Structures are given as C-alpha cells and as structure tokens.
Amino acid sequence: MRGTRGMTRRKLLQVFWVVTLGLLSLEFLRRAGAFKEVVAGWIRPRLDPSSPTGALSDRNRETIVAFGEVLAVGGSLSALEKVSFIEEIDDQTRNVPGYLALYRMTANLLDRLAQTRFSALDIRDRTDLSVRHRLTSYGVSTRECVFSIQRQELAVRALAVPDLIAAYYRSAAGWAVVGYETFPGRCGSLGRYTRAES
C-alpha cells in the first residue's frame, strides 16, 4: 500500500513537471515569435527617406523598364507604352525620396545577376533569371527578414517589385488593360465631350 502511494505521488510530481515545462516552452516559443516579429520590423527593407531624389541614368532606366516588362506583362511593351511607364518611374525617382536609390540598386543587381546588361537579354532569358533568383515573388516573410543575408534581393522583392507593377497599372498602358482608351485625366477625343455617349 505504501509503495503504491509513493508511486502515485512520484507520478503526480512527474506529470506536474512535464506539464510545467511544456507550458514554459510554449510561452518561450510564443515570446520568441513575438521577438522575431519585432526584429523583422527593425530590419524589414524600407525606403530611405533621407536619400536624394533625381533622374535615373539611361542605362538604369532601361534595366528597370526591362524588369517591369517581366513583372507586369511578361512581354515587350510598345514604344508608347514604354514612354508612359517611364513617366511613372521618373515621377517616383524625382519626387519620392528613396526611389532613386532603390531603382539604382535594383538595376545594378539585375545587371550583376545577368552578368551583362539585363535589358539586352530577350524576354524569356530575363524572365528565367528573375524567377531563378525569386525576384518575381514580392512577398517577404518574417523569417526571411530575420535570417536572409541577401538583403538586396529582399529589398527588390519587398519594395521595387510591387511598386513597378503598380507603376505599370498607373500608366496609360495599364489603364488600357482595364479598358480605357485614354488615360483618365487626359483629353481623348474632343468630339466625345460635345455629344452624348452612345
């Protein structure tokens, strides 16, 4: 009887310690996850608001447009579409601090990865290179922010990729995709304004 009581007490203590250690481990993991989120927030790629604005060089602009073609349409833009897209890119680099540095870094990274001018590659090779280096995926996870050493690639994915897609769809070319013949805010046909819509 005494031996059975001793075994029961010992088992109860073991269960108590196992449950306690389990709860402490869960709390540690929960706090570690929260800590990881805080750290990721500190090191997540972001624009540098203190960097200067200005115009991209012609070479960098060509590279950015070539990358935008991969991201937005998966093919070449017409001359008019390129002009419209370039206007959006230039607007960002000239008016929003951080974009000039971001696009320069993006262009230099793409040229380095291509081992030549990225814009000189045909669309298939540009696409293959972009996919191989995961530059077409713009979701950046907390884990990547904390553990990745490829900081430039993360910045391109987190900042440049979504902005270039948005720039394309802000341009006249992007508006045409959704059915506008004329970019909103610009005059199309003057006759359209003098008669009722049909």
**Domain shared by 63 and 141, yes or no:** yes
**Residue 51 domain-assigned (yes or no):** no
d(CA 86, CA 131): 23
Listed range (38-52, 111-125, 135-149, 170-184) with the worst mean pLDDT: 170-184
Decide: 166 and 95 in contact? Cβ < 8 Å: no
**Domain shared by 15 and 99, yes or no:** no
**Domain shared by 111 and 152, yes or no:** yes
**Domain shared by 33 and 68, yes or no:** no
**Domain shared by 84 and 25, yes or no:** no
**Domain shared by 78 and 173, yes or no:** yes
pLDDT higher for 43 or 73?
73
For residue 74, what are the domain limits? 58-177
CB-based contacts of 156, cutoff 8 Å, min separation 6:
105, 106, 109, 135
- Rg (C-alpha) for the chain, rounded Å, is 27
The yes-or-no verdict on residue 156 having pLDDT over 60 is yes
What pLDDT is recorded for position 14?
Answer: 77
What pLDDT is recorded for position 33?
Answer: 57
**Domain shared by 70 and 143, yes or no:** yes
End-to-end CA distance of the chain: 98
Listed range (23-27, 86-90, 98-102, 165-169) with the worst mean pLDDT: 23-27
Q: Which amino acid is at 31?
A: R
